[in-house]
């Protein structure tokens, strides 16, 4: 029992701590992925004076805290801890993690509670309770059911009402009608001492459908708008230089065209502009996909969002605010995402056939029995039985249940599926478009272990550790496991590399006369920079080709490198030196020709293409914005499970269709019974539960190896 108590105490303690100080700053930390990160970041931030109550949310990969310090100090502190952090606009992000999910869970809990109690009361009625006892049970059931239906059914009522307002039918119209009529008629029957009370049916309908709705919501909870995250990439303040050359910290929104702006080392450029300094070195991989840093001369254009890798430089603003490249890309992504939400999923297509059919059937039953029997009450009962027994809950569960099982299975293989209809769209693709840098390849330095001896390696590691340049990171990864040399006086040589002292010897890592060089006391050791193939990439491409899915390569990198990789992987369709706009255009053009592509990419330059493609996948090493634009995020290093992803997507779509067929078979049996007037509340409850459970069990088959 002690362990259970410790667990109980932990949660309230955490809540007290979080509530004591309201957080006023939220940062996105995409790099944290493990239990150790939580403690490291929270303790690391807690020890800083002026920062209170740092709290990590590992699910959303965010840190919230209370501080009066400028945001740069906080990101610098997190960078010291070894994580990259981006400030999020608190107004956009909101403090509450998932209010809609909480709301659905609450309604689900209430409906579940009411359903269990009313079911138990119904058992007594079905077992033969009569007269006053039966009426008492009915009235107690009514007292529970009416308020609960009013509360828990709201998501369906609202959705049905908004569809009816624009004169359309969706799945929620027959559902709402069935719930409301069943409850209303049951109240009437209970008050008049009748036997046809459908409280349990109405409540279990609400409960089962809320499960479907909640599962559906959970699969999408982590998917937030990519455009919002893109906005978070922008720096919030800039150093504006006045006439005397003094720097003033200015909010981005106050900048105007023609302003002179200072961009510090490691900072992101706040606006599009032209370079005023003699030279600069920037990382613009997010725009072009090119792996090498860009060397710029005076007058060259610089886009918002580029990272200054060299000395601080001055920039003359040419376009600000909504006109910057970053903003234009955000709008492109937004547009593409809006187009994707217009995709009609299986469930919606089923609803378009199902909803009118059910209404006509119920109406016909009512009219028919009214003519035959002349009894309004009995005719209405039959119509309600038809509405309930047509199993809308099995239909409501058909897709979400399969999607949830498939998404769980894919998660075990390292795929995080974010979009509800992603699996259906994935099952329809006939080709795969790959980005090159960061997707099929990962940056690397060739032959580190062969070229350098132990001492040189430890020096290289010590120098690489102090720089955030992509190549330094690759060296750091390539040399993991050895101890760094005690190099002192490490400093950046802007635009060239890093230098330091080891004992009395000068050491340097960076651009030498012929490329990347490690220099120790005047002796140069050239290092060869290259890209290594992502593990599993070759197998995945070969298997896709074999299964008839046409793989293609689109990259912003140089023609020669793209050709070389295409040849190595045996890809015949390769496009090189293509910008983000052109990439997006290529995807839309090919889609217009009737092709349906799975886009696999990682850079910001892929973001618009990812959003525009029929389905999209981004590796977890991708930029935050690309991960958010993609339907699916690959959490593992290797690509070899890509064919498996497509296989599971196709299997889950097949099972969803089967589920609709199962629901249809139940309807074929139950509807005639209801139409003939033989349906009792017991038969309705049995038919509904049986069909829902069958559909759920069928959905679980997606987890079986095929």
Q: Which residues are catalytic?
A: 435
Residue range at the interface with another protein (CB under 8 A); choices 101-109, 465-473, 478-486, 602-610 = 101-109
Chain-centroid distance, C-alpha 424: 16
Choose one: 57-65, 82-90, 479-487, 614-622; the region binding another protein (CB under 8 A). 57-65
Number of residues lying near another protein (CB under 8 A): 36
| Smallest gap from residue 134 Cβ to another protein (A) | 12
Among 4, 5, 34, 668, contact with another protein (rule: CB under 8 A): 34
Give the CA dihedral 686, 690, 691, 697, nearest 10 degrees: 170
DSSP code of residue 39: H
**Which is closer to another protein, CB of 42 or CB of 428?**
42
Q: For residues 3 and 244, which CB has a smaller minimum distance to another protein in the complex? A: 3
Smallest separation (angstroms) from another protein to the CB of 104: 10
**In this chain, which stretch among 11-19, 270-278, 291-299, 461-469 interacts with another protein, using CB under 8 A?**
11-19
Q: Which is nearer to another protein, 105 or 686 (CB)?
A: 105
Is position 7 an interface residue for another protein (rule: CB under 8 A)? yes
Least Cβ distance, residue 101 to another protein (angstroms): 7
Tokens 């230089």, residue?
Answer: 241
Please list, residue by residue across 408-432, b when 16 or more beta carbons sit within 10 angstroms of its beta carbon and e when fewer do: ebbeeebbbbbbbbbbbbbbebebb
Output the smallest distance, CB 28 to another protein, in A.
14
Instruction: Work out which of 31, 44, 81, 101 binds another protein, going by CB under 8 A.
Output: 101
Complex with another protein: residue 105 or 493, whichever CB lies closer: 105
Contact between 154 and another protein (CB under 8 A)?
Answer: no
Q: Which of 14, 278, 363, 676 binds another protein (CB under 8 A)?
A: 14
The interface region with another protein, picked from 94-102, 438-446, 676-684, 695-703 by CB under 8 A, is 94-102
Alpha carbons 270 and 330: distance in angstroms, whole number? 15
Shortest approach of another protein to residue 696 CB, angstroms?
A: 22
CB of 116 vs another protein, minimal distance in Å: 7
When the beta carbons of 128 and 245 are compared against another protein, the nearer one is 128
Q: What is the dihedral angle through the alpha carbons of 131, 132, 133, 138, rounded to the nearest 10 degrees? A: 90
Distance of CA 176 to the CA centre of its chain: 30
Minimum Å distance from CB 422 to another protein?
A: 20
CB of 473 to another protein, least distance (A): 25
Site string for another protein, 102-141 (x = CB under 8 A): x--xx--xx--x--xx--xx-----------x--x---x-
- Can you tell me which of 72, 84, 98, 428 binds another protein, judged by CB under 8 A? 98
Which two structure tokens, joined as six digits, stand for 327? 């903003």
As given in the structure block, the two tokens for residue 452 are 């350098």
Q: Which helix H or strand E contains 87, and what residues bound it? A: strand 86-88
Residues 325-354 that bind another protein (CB under 8 A): none
Nearest alpha-carbon partner for 294 in 282, 306, 304: 282
Query: What CA–CA distance (Å, rounded) separates 413 from 573?
Result: 29
Piece in contact with another protein (CB under 8 A), picked from 32-40, 190-198, 292-300, 494-502: 32-40
CB 7 → another protein: shortest distance, Å?
A: 6
The nearer residue to another protein, 94 or 251, going by C-beta atoms, is 94
Single out the residue of 31, 44, 48, 57 in contact with another protein (rule: CB under 8 A). Answer: 57
Radius of gyration of the chain (CA): 31
Regarding 211 and contact with another protein (CB under 8 A), the answer is no
Helices (H), 94-198: 99-126, 131-152, 154-165, 172-191
Q: In the complex with another protein, which residue's Cβ is closer, 97 or 446? A: 97
Q: Please state whether 548 falls in left (phi above 0), alpha (psi between -120 and 50) or beta.
A: left
Q: SS3 string of 467-535? A: CCCHHHHHHHHHCCCCCCCCCEEEEEECCCEEEEEECCEEEEEEEECCEEEEEECCEEEECEEEEEECC
Q: Alpha-carbon distance 52 to 335, whole Å? A: 39
Beta-carbon contacts of 106 under 8 Å, excluding residues fewer than 6 positions away, are none
Least separation, in Å, of the C-beta of 281 and another protein? 38
Q: Among residues 91, 82, 48, 86, which one has the least CA distance to residue 67?
A: 48
Q: Which stretch binds another protein (CB under 8 A): 50-58, 451-459, 551-559, 600-608?
A: 50-58
Residue nearer to another protein on the CB measure, 38 or 146? 38
Let me know the angle formed at the C-alpha of 147 by 145 and 150, rounded to the nearest 5 degrees.
Answer: 100
56 binds another protein (CB under 8 A): yes
Backbone angles phi, psi at 22, to 5 degrees: -70, 130
Q: Verify binding: residue 38, another protein, rule CB under 8 A.
A: yes
Applying CB under 8 A, among 42, 300, 334, 577 the residue interacting with another protein is 42
CA dist 604 and 287 (Å) reads: 6
Nearer to another protein, 151 or 343 (CB): 151
Kindly tell me which of 121 and 566 has the beta carbon lying closer to another protein: 121
* One-letter-per-residue 3-state SS of 279-300: EEEEECHHHHCCCCCEEEECCC
Produce one character per residue of 381-401: b if its CB has 16 or more CB atoms within 10 Å, e if not: bbbbbbbbbbbbbbbbbbbbb
* Binding letters toward another protein, positions 60-79, x by CB under 8 A: x-------------------
The residue among 108 and 452 lying less far from another protein, judged by its C-beta, is 108
- DSSP label of 267: P
CA atoms within 13 A on the CB side of 83: 28
Residues that bind another protein (CB under 8 A): 7, 10-15, 17, 34-35, 38-39, 42, 56-60, 96-98, 101-102, 105-106, 109-110, 113, 116-117, 120-121, 133, 136, 140, 144
């Amino acid at each position: 029992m002690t362990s259970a108590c410790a667990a109980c105490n932990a949660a309230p303690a955490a809540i007290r701590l979080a509530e004591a100080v309201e957080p006023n700053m939220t940062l996105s930390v995409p790099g944290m992925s493990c239990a150790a990160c939580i403690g490291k970041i929270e303790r690391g931030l807690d020890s800083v004076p002026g920062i209170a109550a740092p709290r990590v949310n590992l699910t959303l990969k965010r840190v919230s805290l209370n501080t009066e310090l400028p945001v740069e100090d906080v990101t610098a502190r997190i960078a010291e801890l070894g994580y990259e952090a981006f400030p999020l606009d608190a107004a956009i992000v909101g403090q509450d993690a998932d209010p809609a999910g909480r709301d659905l869970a609450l309604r689900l809990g209430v409906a579940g509670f009411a359903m269990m109690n009313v079911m138990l009361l119904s058992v007594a009625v079905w077992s033969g309770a009569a007269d006053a006892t039966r009426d008492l049970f009915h009235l107690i059931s009514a007292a529970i059911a009416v308020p609960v239906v009013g509360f828990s059914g709201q998501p369906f009522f609202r959705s049905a009402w908004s569809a009816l307002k624009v004169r359309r039918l969706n799945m929620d119209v027959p559902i709402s009608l069935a719930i409301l009529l069943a409850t209303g008629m049951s109240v009437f029957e209970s008050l008049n001492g009748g036997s046809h009370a459908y409280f349990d049916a109405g409540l279990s309908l609400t409960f089962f459908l809320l499960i479907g709705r909640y599962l559906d919501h959970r699969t999408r909870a982590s998917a937030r708008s990519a455009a919002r995250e893109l906005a978070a990439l922008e720096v919030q303040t800039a150093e504006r230089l006045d006439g005397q050359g003094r720097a003033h910290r200015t909010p981005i929104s106050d900048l105007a065209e023609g302003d002179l702006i200072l961009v510090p080392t490691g900072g992101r450029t706040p606006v599009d502009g032209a370079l005023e300094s003699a030279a600069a070195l920037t990382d613009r991989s997010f725009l072009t996909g090119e792996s090498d840093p860009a060397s710029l001369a005076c007058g060259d254009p610089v886009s918002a969002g580029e990272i200054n890798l060299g000395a601080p430089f001055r920039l003359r603003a040419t376009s600000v605010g909504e006109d910057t490249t970053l903003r234009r890309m955000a709008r492109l992504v937004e547009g593409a995402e809006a187009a994707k939400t217009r995709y009609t999923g299986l469930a919606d297509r089923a609803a378009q056939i199902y909803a009118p059919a059910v209404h006509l059937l119920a109406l016909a039953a009512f009219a028919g029995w009214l003519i035959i029997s002349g009894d309004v009450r009995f005719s209405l009962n039959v119509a309600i039985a038809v509405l309930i027994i047509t199993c809308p809950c099995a239909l409501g569960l058909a897709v979400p249940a399969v999607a949830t099982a498939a998404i769980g299975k894919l998660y075990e293989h390292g795929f995080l599926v974010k979009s509800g209809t992603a699996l259906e769209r994935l099952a329809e693709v006939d080709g795969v478009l790959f980005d090159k840098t960061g997707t099929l390849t990962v940056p690397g330095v060739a032959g580190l272990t062969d070229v350098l001896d132990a001492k040189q390696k430890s020096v290289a590691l010590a120098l690489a550790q102090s720089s955030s340049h992509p190549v330094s990171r690759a060296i750091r990864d390539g040399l993991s496991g050895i101890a760094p040399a005690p190099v002192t006086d490490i400093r950046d040589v802007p635009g060239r590399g890093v230098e330091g002292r080891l004992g009395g010897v000068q050491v340097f890592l960076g651009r030498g006369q012929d490329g990347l060089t490690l220099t120790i006391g005047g002796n140069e050791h050239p290092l060869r920079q290259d890209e290594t193939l992502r593990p599993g990439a070759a197998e995945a491409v070969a298997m896709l080709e074999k299964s008839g899915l046409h793989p293609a390569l689109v990259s912003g990198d140089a023609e020669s490198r793209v050709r070389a990789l295409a040849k190595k992987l045996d890809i015949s369709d390769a496009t090189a030196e293509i910008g983000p706009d052109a990439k997006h255009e290529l995807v839309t053009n090919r889609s217009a020709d009737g092709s349906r592509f799975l886009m696999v990419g990682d850079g910001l330059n892929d973001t618009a293409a990812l959003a525009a493609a029929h389905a999209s996948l981004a590796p977890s090493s991708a930029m935050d914005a690309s991960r958010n634009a993609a339907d699916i995020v690959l959490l593992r290093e290797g690509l070899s499970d890509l064919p498996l992803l497509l296989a599971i997507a196709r299997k889950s779509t097949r099972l969803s269709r089967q589920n609709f067929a199962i629901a249809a078979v139940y309807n074929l049996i139950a509807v005639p019974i209801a139409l003939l007037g033989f349906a009792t509340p017991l038969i309705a409850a049995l038919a509904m539960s049986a069909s829902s459970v069958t559909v759920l069990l069928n959905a679980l088959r997606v987890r079986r190896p095929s």
